[in-house]
Structure 1
Amino acid sequence: MSVRHTNAPKRSQLSAALFAALAVTTTCTSFAQEQTAATPDTSSTQTSTLDKVTVTGSRIKRTEIEGPSPVTVITSAQIEREGFNTVYDALNTLTQAGGAAQNEIFQGGFTPNASVINLRGLGPGRTLLLINGRRAADYPLPYNGQSNFANFGNIPAAAVDRIELLAGGASAIYGSDAVAGVINVILKTNFEGDILKVRGSTSTRGGGDIGDVQWIGGKTGDNWSVTYAAEYYTSEPLYAYQRDFMDSSLDNPLPPDFVGIQPTGTMRVRRRTGSTAGSYFAPPAGACEQLGDEWVRWNYRSANAAGVITNLGQSCGSFKDVAYQTIRNGNNDLSGYVFGTYDFENGMQAWGSLQAWTSKAKYGAGTQFWGGRTVGGLWFDQGFNALVDAQRVFTPQEAGGVENLLAKNDEKSYDLAFGLRGTIADRFDWDVTLSRAEYNVQVDRPRLLSTSVNNWFLGPQLGTQVVGGVTYPVYRLNQSRYYTALTPQEFAALNTVVKTDAESFVNQASFTISGDLFEMPAGPLAFAAVVEASQQEYTLTADRRILPDYTGTDRPYNLTGTGGGGDRDRYALGVEFSIPIFSMLKASVAGRYDKYDDITSVDDAKTWNAGLEFRPLDSLLFRASYSTSFRAPDMHYVFAERSGSFSAIFDTRRCLESGRTAAQCPSSDTTINYTSFGVRQGTTDLTEETGKSWTAGVVWDIMDGLSISADYYHIELEDAVADITTAYILDGEAGCVTGLTRNRQPFTLGAPGSAFCNDMLSRVTRLSAPGTPNDGQITEIRRGPINRAFLGTKGIDATLDYRLDTDRLGDFRLQLGYSHTLEQTTSQFKGDPILDYRDDLTNFDFRSRVRATATWQKNDWQAAVFALRYGSLPNWQETGRIAPYIVYNMSVGKQVTEKLGVNFYVNNVLDKVHPRDDGYNSYPYFWRAFSPIGREVALELEYKFN
């Protein structure tokens, strides 16, 4: 937020009240605020004359706090007072950020070390991240292996002054990607003095220790200033086995079928033909007892839908293998920031800014396993004289410790900017900015080598054998090796390190000018204009051994990846006007033209917005806005190279061909539910996504110290880009072959021989193996991005802000923020009906969120209580919804001396981990939006050197 120092007009009563509210350090949800010269005493409530400021969502400087669109503000003091360790932790509690997203609990994803925000449930890539109003570099690894997005985990808390959120379309101001909203991180400036903060925290359930050291300072001279910050943040990895409610598959609240909970087969060899197909060969005596209780000898059973139980025989198994994944990453982060200005005698000012961050992280998805070397894992074994498959899960003890199973990320990013600014004719402010933002990631991931582990257990191929008319390779399993725990040295010899390197950058140049053009009867006509040019590029270099077409003998076992890279140039011109129509009514309009130079068919985009502010009373504001937005095709959707991945699927065609509906094909039926290989590739045929956004609301300063606001929002997005889902392809293939839907109703999307059916059938490859369990099993599914039809959402945001100042008892503050989704709509393809999926029992976006902060301050003491209420979610069995869920944080602090302060924090006071869902039978037995950390306590010392 830039500041123009002028003789500002007198503020209205409403503006003064709201600005005074924002000056308090515990601001929860509000509109844009003034940036004053920072002082070390962040608890000061003193206000000063309001200068004209630039608010996120507009480039025009204004004296009013609120505008036609609501802006939420989180201050650095708020982040600290509410107990959050990082900027992302605070952002993730925004009421508008209720969309489901992958996080550190989901270690099976492509970006387990990144932190994403999903505003309005429209997807992480549709939220624009700005640093001081400049576009940040994308995280160079694709979200879910598909699309680029912004990482909110690399923002150092020490450097942040405040964060402003505009939730809604803002492309007319900022260009592409500002569809669901804009998050503008504003870094500290004009700081005076030096502050050292040292904080340590731990969890009361054990593990999860965190340390944080921050140094924040600044100096000013007659014609210069410098602000600086440094931070070191460290956290130890936290494992699932450190939480007793998820340390074993025995924690499953609902056994999958009549046989109850059974351990994962860790030393299992299974017969696949004959009358006893599916039965296990018993391991030798002592095999399952080698590592204490790590493995157990188990008599496995299976049950059909009617409850008939079949004994399968003995195998070694483990209840513990699920719990060796991390549920919070280990991090060592170091960041630095410096901002400086120099004032020339002619009134021009030069400025420069550098924010840099480096991180070394480690995390893990759990154990590794081996399941054979051929398609489907089948071979004829001379030792067992049978067609078999096998599964061998390796324990951390065999790896030499769980640390040796962890992947490691080395990440670096920086944002460098400098420029000149000044005033023309004492009327127009101008700014020229040049900047570069860059992000680099290197991932090292341990993985078994296919050839090495295959040779270790199977040795050379001994010929072929025809079984059921199908030819299979012949091996002899080395049972001595298979049923004996590996030494760490043997395990290391079977492993390799898979390396992925990725980088992205964005170079930007801009010129902005703003000011008052001329006086109108109701006030000045203000305007702003901007000219921009930028270059964007990313490169993703995956280890060539994990690419789907690699044929070398040193391929990592059961692992695929994605590569890609490309560049894009963009030029833009934008203009805004603020038009006072009469004393109570003001209008604003903006327009922007973006010109693209890349390999896609997108040539340009034109967007605009308009807003109205009606103030019938000084204490009452009615407002409304309309805006158009767009998102250029995501670069990885365009430039992604052929990549592959394994995923669990539901084989709709097999289910229907068996005479059942989808509901009658249980998850325990492995002929229907199994893992398949899928490939995808980017395409240059994509067009831009186009959006529309409406808001309408009211702000009412009811009385001194009490104000409320309520805003309705409505966002629509056409031509939304997404992959054709695997489920859609498999349902389409099944419908084209059987003529039926999942529920065995007539299939109407296409007939055999139609373009639709030819496309669906071409995307699925099946194995032809007559007489075997794998006959007709899917071996490859081909996906890819397309411009699908429609996404939409409607809802309400509301806030309440109440302050009571007393002489005897101190000063009290209560702030509430509330968001409620009224409707979420979608259609898969053009011409499909638009469906409301808000209440769909497969939709895990929160329908509502409430955020509340109560604070108290008296003399040298201060305290705060923070609460976040999550709305209800579907239960896992899709039969209803589970109850809402509330987490509380508390803090108390005292200024011990003039220079020394002490703060104590308790996060998740009631030690909640997740709401109860007795039907959640998939590990970790709760939805990933809920934290398994439990209660955390922290102590912070703050020392002021000035």
Structure 2
Amino acid sequence: MHVNTLKRSRLAVSLMAALLAPAAFAQDAAPAPAEDATNLDKVTVTGSLIPKTQLENFTPVTTISAEDIKARGFTSVADVLQKSSFSTGGVQGGQSSASFTQGAETVSMFGLDPGYTKYLIDGRPMANYPALYNGSDTFNNISGIPIDLVERIEILPGGQSSLYGSDAIAGVINIILKKNMEGGALSVRGGATSDGGGDSFRVSLAKGFVGMDGRLNVLAGIQAETKDPIWGYQRDLTKQYNTHGYSAPVAGRDFLVNGYSNFAAEGFANPDNYGYVFADPNNCANTTGQFGGSTGLRERAGFGQYCGSFLSPGYRTIANGKDAAQVYTHATFDVSDTFQLYGDLLYSHEETEYNVGAGYTWWGTSAKYGYYYDPDLDALVNLQRGFAPEDVGGQGFRDINSTDKSDSYSITFGGKGTWGAWDYDLSASRTEYRLKERSWARWNDPINAYFEEHVLGPDLGPDPVYGAFPTFRPDYAAFYQPISPADFASFSGFTNTKSKTWDNMLRAQFTNSALFTLPGGDAGLAVVVEGGNQGWDYSPDPRLIPDPVTLESEVWGTTSVSGAGHRTRYAVTSELRLPVWEPLTVTLSGRYDAFDAYGNTVDKPTYSIGLEYRPVESLLLRGKYGTAFRAPTLSDTFQGISGYYDSVTDYTRCADAGFLPGNTDQCDYDSEQFFGTQSGNPDLEPITADVWNVGAVWAPTRNLSMSLDYFSWDIRNEVDLQSADQLSLLEYYCNSGQLDAGSPSCQNALSWITRDTNGAIESIYTPKVNVAKQKLRAITASVNYMVDVGSFGSLSFAGNYTNTLDHTVTPLPGDPEIDLLRDPYYMWVYDAYAKTRADLSVAWAKDKWTTTVYANRLGKTPNYQAYTGRSFDFVNSAGAKAGWWAPYITYNMSVNYAALDNLEFSFMVNNVLDKTPENQASNFPGTESEPYNSNVYNAYGRSFFVEARYKFGQ
């Protein structure tokens, strides 16, 4: 193999010094000898295919080293990326109850969809997660990557499709695993939280092997980890209904009879007759053992009495439990001086457990009957019965935890070498991801039959007013009773859903770093050809598939998505690097991608032009313009008609009852159940984008570098899938004349929401169509500084900052632009991202000690009243004001001690000040069980970790 060695510029030396600062701290604080900093081998960095001497080029690359990961207290790859300054968007995951992918973790770069980021492991695409984010979108789960085996993580913001193809709109994240090691390393780590739950233990072992006179090199590693879940009852903020809200806390409606009284005389004509009917002859005496003895007689002002507990929200997990293990091997064999064989294998097994909680563990008559008529009460009513841990028996809700088990692997074999002036790399790769979801379920017919037999009694015929509702004379004393664990088990159990994705790829790359000579140096060319196939198969438990006529499944209150398909794909990529003269380099790249699914071909060419200008040795001016795209995903194309049950605030009916948006917590239509449907669309076109960036890097000294970059995205043909809450609120604004009822958005909202004869929401349809577009403008900045303080050791500072300057969305052609920075309602709808995000680390090293303090700042986000009132000037009837939640800052700290040359101990505290979003609770009503935005914040609090690392065989 030939190696090119050239002198470094001051810019390259400064950047290398800053990047390697943490590694240097583990050794000696003295500066490196001058002769060690004069030569720099050509390296390949994310964002270019051609090796070069500069570490910075026309697009910024943020590198997070293994030393950074450890020093800053990051516990996983997901933790690293979710704390990145580029991660301004909120995401669903283990902290979100009843999300579609509660067992997975992901990131939103610049507030864009998680699927807009391309994830690579060692430069090769990761396998997609088989389940769909938010029930509709393909994405990557980043929870199963062994963090102890990570060498570094490179984050490349901006559109990168001209090199990496589909999905690379927001940016590219390349996770680079270790490739060689002298001897071996054993690491043991344990952790706990201040308030209980989340205890963790992790062990990893890696060993390097050399054989056959140095021609064979192997690195093998394994990591195993276990982590307990965190339950809501282990945190003050989540253990009960909101006790710090602008209204009094309201207990869960665990035993509730509600509806219309005086029904035979007035029907639905008098809405004032709507409320709770308390029908328990024992005044809740038989229910007091529920939820640990906290259930009792409650009253909701304006509605009536019922039996309920204030503590039921605590019976859910707010952080997943996990058992995981990964195995990794990298091997090379030098066949000759110019040819090398290599192979990589990464296998991951992961089991996550979680519980959706008491809020999703209930039964009611509304699902089957809508209402029923009780002649003794002269009321049209519904029953609602929440289940408690005592009903479950055994370990309570722990016995009905859902479990996601996944097995994934990535395997690559290839050979690389040189042929004349050309380097080549030929490889074959396969990735596969298999997922098994075991989810707690209520069986539809058995649970209805149980309550019909024990509570409702026989159907006595249609109601006397409309003839549309059944008539029952229930045994209410039997309704207000605990259920035995045996009875609970008779109508509940678990569903088992299986799914998988796979991707096969053949890849050939040819590179010439000295194709010809220009005044500024050697021109370089890289050409890549790829071909393969990929597939997706989501096969839910057959009992979850809804009947096409009744729209009901065998599982009460739950249905599932299904779909399967595969396609072939191929791509051709080229990159040409032209050092036009010494200060100026131009880089051109282009790519053509094609996807063929059963004869239906979708293709897209993309290109980019990058400029690097160095007027002086220490200053780089850079810019890039290019195009990016996202091909229709397999789920976008092949997802079958999927249904789901959910609840939504019926803003139209609430407004008719006098409760306007932002003041619906006392409205009894604030949680109306509906049946939702969505499906794939085989005629979808690629999402396209024009993306450009311009910036500068300044490195005036060896130990200081700064960068500032501006990014712009214009994204078109987005696949839009609106939320049910968004459609319900939009329907209200259209009906009330606040929006043009003739606009496309209003027309869709009015047609996609179906109401029954009584005006209640029955179903909501959210199809996938290429209609939306986005505009996004942002700046990023970074600084790295090292200083030698003599006998006191050395200090290093590293900071990163992102500011979204402008972000608009146009959901449908003809609609006005929605300003996501100034419209608080849509800031929540689009996953509630923050306008700014920043981080700063300060590291001190002396002798055998290193200490790092890391601060992460999430910028302000709109509060709950701003969301519900859709205005920052809104004040609800209780005096709660719309506005912003202040910037949210957390601190991590670590101390490392090198006891011996081969033994190191570390102590880390994450969230040192025990920060939680408890101050947000006052802006939520007392009916809220999660008084903060869980897509952005969490209530985990402080955690501690101790770690020992032993190196051997060196």
- With normalisation by structure 2, the TM-score equals 0.91
Change (3 A) 1:376 1:50: farther
Amino acid at match of 1:270: N
Whole-angstrom distance in 2 between the partners of 1:661 and 1:264 = 21
1:445 to 430, 436, 439: 439
Kept in 2, the 8 Å contact 1:366–1:405? The answer is no
CA contact (8 A) 2:355 2:400 kept: yes
Amino acid at match of 1:834: E
Deviation readout 1:452-487 (Å, 9 max, x if unpaired): 222222126433132322332234434454222122
After superposition, give the CA deviation of every residue in 1:704-746 in whole Å (9 maximum; x if it has no partner). Answer: 311111111111111111224435655676688x5x43x3x65
- Indicate which of 391, 403, 426 corresponds to 2:398: 403
Tell whether the 8 Å contact from 1:175 to 1:592 is kept in structure 2 after alignment: yes
Report % sequence identity.
32
For the Cα contact (< 8 Å) 1:254–1:920, is it kept in 2?
yes
* Shift, 1:441, TM fit: 0.7
Number of corresponding residues: 903
Report how far residue 293 of structure 1 moved.
5.3
Contact 1:882–1:915 at 8 Å: present in 2 too? no
Question: Relative contact order, CA 8 A, sep 6+: which one is greater?
Answer: 2
Distance (Å, rounded) in 2 between the aligned partners of 1:643 and 1:491: 28
Amino acid at match of 2:837: R
Report the residue type matching 1:563 in the other structure.
Answer: S
Residues 291 and 312 in structure 2, CA contact (< 8 A), matched pair in contact too: no
Judged with a 3 Å threshold, the aligned counterparts in structure 2 of structure 1 residues 290 and 100 are, in CA distance, closer, same or farther, namely closer
SS in structure 1 of the partner of residue 860 of structure 2: coil
SS at match of 1:569: strand
Q: 1:735 to 1:797 in 2, by over 3 A?
A: closer
Give the residue type in structure 2 aligned to 1:873.
Answer: T
**Paired residue for 1:542, among 537, 540, 543?**
540
- Provide the secondary structure at the position in 1 that maps to 2:7: coil
Equivalent position to 1:13, from 10, 14, 22: 10
Q: What is the RMSD of the two structures over their aligned residues, measured on CA atoms?
A: 2.5
Q: Is the 8 A contact 1:377 1:390 kept in 2?
A: no
Q: Which of the numbers 764, 780, 785 marks the counterpart of 2:768?
A: 785
The answer on 1:908 being equivalent to 2:915 is: no
TM-score for both structures, normalised by structure 1: 0.91
Match of 2:45 in 1: 55
Give me the whole-angstrom Cα distance separating, in 1, the residues matched to 2:369 and 2:663: 21
Question: Aligned pair in 2 of structure 1 residues 45, 417: CA closer, same or farther (>3 Å)?
Answer: farther
What letter matches 2:243 in structure 1? D
Indicate conservation of the 8 Å contact 1:724/1:786, yes or no.
no
Matches within 5 A, 1:348-359: 348-359=339-350
Question: Comparing 585-594 with 340-349, which one deviates more in the overlay?
Answer: 340-349
SS in 2 for 1:248: coil
Tell me, yes or no, if the aligned pair for 1:496 and 1:556 is still in contact at 8 Å.
no
Deviation at 1:627, TM superposition (A): 1.2
- Counterpart CA distance in 1 for 2:844 and 2:49 is 36
Aligned mate of 1:938, from 926, 930, 945: 945
Which residue does the alignment assign to 1:492? Answer: 489
C-alpha deviation, 1:839, in angstroms: 2.4
Q: Which runs of 5+ in 2 are unaligned?
A: 264-272, 867-881
> Amino acid of the residue matched to residue 920 of structure 1?
F
Q: Is the 8 Å Cα contact of residues 154 and 174 (structure 2) preserved in structure 1?
A: yes
SS of residue paired to 1:916: helix
Cα deviation code 1:58-78 (max 9, x no counterpart): 111111110000011111221
Q: What whole-Å deviation, never above 9, does each CA across 1:372-427 have from its counterpart, x for those lacking one?
A: 265454223477564321111111122121211210111111110010000011x2
How far is the alpha carbon of 1:570 from its aligned partner? 1.0
Q: Structure 1 residues 78, 449: closer, same or farther in 2, change over 3 A?
A: same
Alpha-carbon displacement from aligned partner over 1:525-558 (angstroms, at most 9, x marks no partner): 1110000012111100112222232669981211
Q: Which residue of 1 aligns with 2:570?
A: 571
The within-5 A match list for 1:217-232 is 217-221=207-211, 222-232=214-224
Q: CA deviation at 1:645?
A: 1.8
Residues 832/278 of structure 1: CA separation in 2 closer, same or farther (3 Å cut): closer
Label 1:668 to 1:589 Cα distance change in 2 as closer, same or farther (>3 A): same
Q: 1:821 to 1:762 in 2, by over 3 A?
A: closer
Q: Does the Cα contact within 8 Å between 1:214 and 1:230 map onto a contact in 2?
A: yes
Corresponding residue number in structure 2 for 1:809? 792
2:279/2:476 contact within 8 Å kept: no
The residue that corresponds to 2:308 in the other structure is 317
The one of 379, 382, 386 aligned to 1:389: 382
1:412 matches 2:407: yes
Cα deviation 1:190-238 (Å, max 9, x = unaligned) = 2111111101110111221010101122122321100111111100111
One-letter code aligned to 1:511: A
How far, CA to CA, are the matches of 2:54 and 2:551 in structure 1? 65
Matched letter for residue 320 of structure 2: N
Residue equivalent to 2:874? none
Question: Is 1:887 aligned to residue 890 of structure 2?
Answer: yes
Whether 1:920 and 2:924 are equivalent positions in the alignment is yes
CA, structure 1 residues 676+799, in 2 after alignment: closer, same or farther (shift >3 Å)?
Answer: same
| Compared CA separation, residues 464 and 599, structure 1 to 2 (3 A) | farther
Match of 1:872 among 860, 864, 870: 860
Q: Amino acid of the residue matched to residue 539 of structure 2?
A: T
Give me the whole-angstrom Cα distance separating, in 2, the residues matched to 1:757 and 1:884: 35
Q: Find the residue that maps to 1:207 and give its secondary structure.
A: coil
Equivalent in the alignment of 1:845: 833
AA matched with 2:776: T
- Tell me, yes or no, if the aligned pair for 2:291 and 2:390 is still in contact at 8 Å: no
1:333 and 2:333 aligned: no
Q: Following superposition of structure 1 onto structure 2, how do residues 206-605 of structure 1 map, counting pairs within 5 Å?
A: 206-221=196-211, 222-255=214-247, 260-274=248-262, 277-285=274-282, 286-291=285-290, 294-303=293-302, 312=304, 314-345=305-336, 347-367=338-358, 368-372=361-365, 374-375=367-368, 377-381=370-374, 386-400=379-393, 401-425=396-420, 427-459=421-453, 461-479=458-476, 481-515=478-512, 516-549=514-547, 555-598=554-597, 603-605=602-604
| Compared CA separation, residues 296 and 16, structure 1 to 2 (3 A) | same
C-alpha displacement of 1:504: 0.4
After superposition, the Cα gap between the structure-2 partners of 1:41 and 1:542, relative to the gap in structure 1 and judged at 3 Å, is: farther
Q: What does the per-residue CA deviation read over 1:832-888, in whole Å, with 9 as the maximum and x for residues that have no partner?
A: 333432122121211111111111111111111110011011111102111111100
Which runs of no fewer than 5 residues in structure 1 stay unpaired? 29-39, 304-309, 751-755, 769-774
| Kept in 2: contact 1:885–1:915 (CA 8 A) | no
Matching residue within 654, 676, 679 for 1:678: 676
Contact 2:366 2:382 in 1 (8 A): no
User: Which residue type is aligned with residue 572 of structure 2?
Assistant: L
| Higher alpha-carbon deviation: 727-736 or 321-330 | 727-736
Supply the distance in 1 between the matched residues of 2:901 and 2:89 (Cα, whole angstroms): 44
Query: Which moved further from structure 2: 367-376 or 44-53?
Result: 44-53
What amino acid sits opposite 1:501 in the alignment? K
The match for 1:823 is 806
Aligned ranges 1:656-735 → 2 under 5 Å: 658=656, 662-663=660-661, 666-671=664-669, 674-726=672-724, 729-730=727-728
Distance in 2, matches of 1:122 and 1:373, equals 37
Of stretches 15-24 and 497-506 in structure 1, the one that deviates more from structure 2 is: 15-24
Q: 1:738-794 deviations in whole A, cap 9, x for unaligned?
A: 5x43x3x653416xxxxx8876554332212xxxxxx11121122210112311211
Deviation at 1:602, TM superposition (A): 5.0
Contact 1:911 1:935 in 2 (8 A): yes
- Give the AA of the match of 1:339: H
Match of 1:100 in 2: 90
Deviates more, 1:798-807 or 1:708-717: 798-807
* Structure 1 pair 273–892 and aligned structure 2 pair: CA distance change class (3 A): same
Q: Distance in 2 between matches of 1:840 and 1:759?
A: 21
3-state SS of paired residue (2:647): strand
Pair 1:746–1:69, CA change in 2 (3 A): closer
Q: Which moved more, 1:414-423 or 1:267-276?
A: 267-276
Change (3 A) 1:475 1:543: farther
1:616 corresponds in structure 2 to 615
- How far 1:301 moved relative to its partner? 3.4
Distance 1:713 1:351 in 2: 37
